[in-house]
Structure formats: structure tokens, C-alpha cells
Chain A
Amino acid sequence: MSDAGVRAWSSSPEELRSRLHAFIADRSGVAPQRVRVKALQPMAGGASRELWSLDVEIDPPDAVAQRLELVLRRDPPGRSDDSDRTLEFRLLKAAADAGVRVPRVHWCSADAAVLGSPFFLMDRVAGETIPRRLLRDPEYAVARAAMTAQLGEILARVHRIDPDHPDLEDLASASSGVESGRGSVERIAEGIRTLQAEPHPVLDLAERWLLARAPEPKQRVVVHGDYRVGNVIFDATGVRAILDWEISHLGDPVEDLGWLCVRAWRFGNDALPVGGVGTREELIRAYQEAGGEPVDREALRFWEACGNFKLALVFIQQARVFLDGVPSVELASLGRRIAETEDELLNFMEEGT
């Protein structure tokens, strides 16, 4: 899956460039004439955020000149939102401190007066993000083989981010909050009921199956929340950076492991459940060897099934956006992908109990 593409913005790129110029000069404490902002252009990226690439040169009178290749991540102007860019910025910092490979962050502002909506600036990490390339292209053979162990090792670091870090004190009160297995199922089911026009008996049956199996979390950690190959920047050697921390929350660490195994991320390569590149046992071994707590296989099974349940909601939501008038061929197509998540939920329900 890619994304719905770059959304409309309210200000012109030239106005955005000049506002960024003033902001960066102010934050880096140099005179505006000593800062250049160049090559500002929209990037294809998150469906819910705008992404822009830009190059910045800062030439202080008393220090060495700096050249930065950056990405601007901002909320669509004028849209009040359910996730917080400044929290995502602080999470990226905390992740870097915990040794997670993430883009280095520079500046952040929640003040809508600056660029029209909250935003932050981070390094532009070179590499590829399209899972199809990872799965198919010969140049990524080494990355393919290394990816599962790397993702397990990095995830163990993610789960060591201090949930009580003073910079993250609003994490538990963020919209996604502290999430138990039961809470997740209830929230997803509520979302489906609110949105769906068509009956989905498979999802009603899955809700009951999941509620009967929701594990009590053994730990309360920072959960990335959208940990999958599509949110990884990779090169020929494997993972370069983990992106998209916007739905991170406190919860059960197994949630991230289960989401990584959801069928849609395999692009048909079902023999390798971890994103079409590795096995669950390979992932668990790397995760535990890097210090992750021992993974309960039943909890993993629950969270993987719950991930497919959640993806059904995501597809229903995205199809709804199309039905409500956003003329995107990609959004239109996603309604017909609900069938795949239902098929996988039936696999879970028929397998054993």
C-alpha cells in the first residue's frame, strides 16, 4: 500500500519557503541572510500528514557552515487533529536516546501561526520505503535476509524507551492512551460499528473470538503502534530508520510484534509471515536476544489476529473517505481489501479452538 498522495495545502510553496526560512533563522539564532532554504518540494508520504523535502544552509559568522537535508512533517493546515506533532517530535528524540535508528529531529512548533499547522523538521534519511522493492528487487537480497532480525533487535530497543520519561508524560493521555488487548478490540469494534454501512458477520464473530482471548499485558511499554516494513527506510544493507511514530502509545509490547506479522504486509509471500521476509521465530529470537521480554506465543497469536481486525477497520475507514467524496483511486480500492482481512480472521478462528 502506498498513500493517498499529497493533500492540498492552503499556502503557496513560496510562502511556505519564506516562513520556514524565518523560523529556521530564528531557531538557529543567526541572521536571516545567513540562512538559505532550497529545493522545497512535496513528497509522497503519509496519507494523514504532509511531507516536504528541503535543503537548508546555515552559515553562522563565527562557526562552520552547516548543510542540512531535511524533511518537514506537518499536519494539513486547518485540520484539528487527534495526534500531536510535538509529542511525535519528543518520541523521536527519546527513541534516538534509546538507540533506535530514527531520523534526527531538529525543530518543532505547535504554533499554527508559524506554518499554518503544527510541524517538525527532521533529517532526510537516504533509502527506499517501498516494500514491493524490498520483496522483489535483486539489489535488496541482503536487506531481505537481514531485515527480520534487525526489526526484532530494533523493536527491543523501542520497548526500552522509558515510559516515565518527563518528556513523554502526555503519552498515556494521548488519544491512543494506554491500550490493553481488550481495550483495543473494544475500540476497533466500536469504530467498525460507527462506520460500516454493510454487515460484516465475520468481524462480529472475530470480535467475540478476540475478546475471549485478550491477554493481560505483562508489561507497560512505549508501543510504536505502526511497526511494519512500510514504515521503514531501508537500503541494500537493511534498516536505516523507523518512521511514523504518530500513533505510539503505552501498552503491551506484543502489540508491535503482532502488527508486524499482519498478512497484508506480506504482499502474497505468506510463507514468510514477517512482512514477507522472515519467520515469527526468527523475529522472536532476535527480539529476545536484544533484551526484549520473552514473547508469549498465545499473546502473539492474539495480537496478530487483532492486527488483522484493526486493518479491517482501517480499510472500512479509508473506503468511507472515498465514499464521502475524496476521489482517490487508491482509497476506492481499499474497500475491496476488507475481504483479505476477513479471510485471515477466519483462518485464526478455524485453527484449533
Chain B
Amino acid sequence: MNDHPTSVALLRAVERFLQKDVVPNLSGPRRYHARVAANLVAVVAREIETEERHLRGEWERLGSLLEADGEAPREREVLRDRVRDLSQTLAERIRDGDADAEPWRGRVLAHLRQTGSDKLDVARPPRES
């Protein structure tokens, strides 16, 4: 086990340093790029905190939509690959027209909404006004 601070706490420290000390002292494209870098560090911190929960939720929903049986893989790498495969299957079914009509369409949309909302929670597009 690694010593403290945790990876998330370290990333937050880097983000704070970039936002408070680096960005204000730069100008032009470098200032912009420093702000982008700070945002990305925050994205990674949020992903570390939420990925396990988001992947398990997505796996459950995809399994139910696609009637795929089985237990969720315990290792995160395997789980990520499995979610990706299921998502690929869903994409193919959509391309075949299976989601053009209710009731499946509504269930697919609800799943995509939740997955999208999880992705946005992590990515949080920059708000600049």
C-alpha cells in the first residue's frame, strides 16, 4: 500500500497549483493550455473516484438490456473490456434498427442517459462564462 496522500489528493494538489499559481502567470495560448491541463488533472481525479461504480452500473444496465447472463468480472480491467464489448453489441443492435421502436427504445435511451450523465460527471466540460 502506498503512503498518503492518496492519488486523488495528489492530483487535487497539482490541479490547485496549476489553477492558482501557473495559469495567472501565463498569457496567450500557454495560459489557455495550462487551464486545459488543470482541467484534465481534475478529470482524472474524478475518474479514479467514480470509475468502479460507473462501470458496475453500466455493466448491470447493458446486461439487462441485452439479456446477457453471468457475473460481473471482479477485476476492473476485465470489467472495462466486458462493458466495451457489450456496448459494441448494443451499437450493432441499434444499427440494425432494434431501437427504432418502443418499448426497447425507451430502455435504450434511459441507459444511454445514465451512461452519458456518468461520463459528463467525470468530464465536466469547461464553463467559461
Contact = CB atoms under 8 A, between A and B. Distances in A.
A330 B33 contact: yes
B23 to A, nearest CB: 13
A207 B1 CA distance: 47
B109 A346 contact: yes
A92 to B, nearest CB: 25
Contact of B33 (A198, A329, A346): A329
What interface size band does chain A fall in? 35 or more
B18 to A, nearest CB: 11
A135 B129 contact: yes
Contacts of B116: 202, 339, 342-343, 346
A332 B113 contact: no
Interface residues of B, number: 34
Contact of B87 (A3, A135, A201): A201
Given A132-B129, A199-B88, A205-B94, A333 B36 contact: yes
Given A339-B116, A340-B123, 19 more contacts: A131-B128, A132-B128, A132-B129, A136-B129, A201-B87, A204-B95, A205-B109, A267-B126, A267-B127, A329-B33, A329-B36, A332-B40, A333-B40, A336-B40, A339-B119, A339-B122, A343-B116, A343-B120, A346-B116
Interface of A: 2-3, 5, 44, 131-132, 135-136, 198-202, 204-205, 208, 264, 266-269, 276, 329-330, 332-333, 336-337, 339-340, 342-343, 346, 349-350
Interface of B: 28-29, 32-33, 36-37, 39-40, 43, 84, 87-88, 90-91, 94-95, 97, 99-100, 108-109, 112-113, 116-117, 119-120, 122-123, 125-129
